């Protein structure tokens, strides 16, 4: 009677899972800086915590940054779409149009462009 998996199949599946876990761990370390950019300011968040974002003394929003994720906790905009966006990781962006604020991850790289 033939078994469902052979030894080579099991080794291949384990190898795929190891590569998958390794790629997830490596990708989480890239975007460790969050940039909060507005019309007249640019603030870089590099340490985890909760930050109040103000422009010319006027409170705009409260941003929470932990690990490899960022979210808007509180905002003065009317629809609160930036708050409803929730947690965003590297590659994601939070935009608050009424407050004119963009929140995104900035990757640490040693190169500017890659060409083929």
Q: What is the count of structural domains for the chain?
A: 1
Q: Residue 61: what are its φ and ψ, rounded to 5°?
A: -165, 165
Q: Spell out the per-residue pLDDT of the chain, length 116, in tens.
A: 567 778 888 888 898 988 888 776 665 555 457 788 887 788 888 888 999 998 888 899 999 998 888 999 999 999 999 999 999 988 889 999 998 899 988 776 666 566 66
CATH number at residue 38: 2.60.320.10
Inside any domain, residue 39:
yes
- Residue 83, SS3 per DSSP: helix
Contact between 36 and 101 under an 8 Å Cβ cutoff? The reply is yes
Inside any domain, residue 26:
no
Contact between 32 and 68 under an 8 Å Cβ cutoff? The reply is yes
Q: For the whole model, what pTM was predicted? A: 0.64
Inside any domain, residue 38:
yes
């Amino acid at each position: 009677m033939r078994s469902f998996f052979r030894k080579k199949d099991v080794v291949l599946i384990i190898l795929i899972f190891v590569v998958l876990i390794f790629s997830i761990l490596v990708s989480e370390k890239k975007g460790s800086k969050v940039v909060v950019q507005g019309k007249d300011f640019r603030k870089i968040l590099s340490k985890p915590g909760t930050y109040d974002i103000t422009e010319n003394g006027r409170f705009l929003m409260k941003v929470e940054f932990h690990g490899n994720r960022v979210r808007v906790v509180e905002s003065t905009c009317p629809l609160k779409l930036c708050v409803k966006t929730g947690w965003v990781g590297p590659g994601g962006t939070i935009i608050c149009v009424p407050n004119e604020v963009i929140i995104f991850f900035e990757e640490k790289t040693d190169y500017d462009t890659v060409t083929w």
